[in-house]
Amino acid sequence: MSRLLTDEEIGRQLGELPGWTRQGGEISASYQAPDFPTAVRLVDEVALEAEDMDHHPDIDIRWRTVKFVLSTHSEGGLTQLDVELAHRVTQAAARLKA
Ligand code: H2B
């Protein structure tokens, strides 16, 4: 179980997550892959990370742009799990050059 983060904790941790922005109780980032198969691969890699964490993003894929929206539904806002998953998404995108 992960508790809701304070505004200060969120602001500080977002400073280490370039490309991620906050919308209330969610954070999101969009990545542009070089092509559609790479966009799908990014989603596939994030799916494995999400299963590993038992923490799952909302995902919107349009051609080669993939948007991830993170929130902890059980807590109704942002927890450390969202920050951890955002780092894993960022690393997967970097690996795939998205
Ligand atoms: N993902 C997200 N983003 N929020 C949750 O509250 C959540 C989840 N709950 N993945 C998990 C699964 C929960 O349903 C299981 C039983 O741990």
- CATH code (residue 37): 3.30.1360.20
| Full residue range of the structural domain in which residue 58 is found | 7-95
In a domain, 1, yes or no: no
Residue 66 lies in a domain: yes
Residue of the CA atom closest to atom 7 of ligand 1: 55
Residues 7-22 have pLDDT tens digits of 999 999 999 999 999 9
Domain assignment present for residue 2? The answer is: no
Contact 38, 98 (CB under 8 A): yes
Please report the ipTM that was assigned to this predicted complex: 0.94
- Mean pLDDT, the chain cut into blocks of 10 residues (98 residues total): 93 97 98 98 98 98 98 98 98 96
Percent helix, strand, coil in the chain, to 5, is 45, 25, 30
Residue 15 lies in a domain: yes
Domains: count for the chain: 1
| 24, 67 Cβ separation under 8 angstroms | no
Cα 43 to ligand 1 centroid, rounded to whole Å: 18
CB 84 near ligand 1, within 6 Å: no
| pTM of the shown model | 0.97
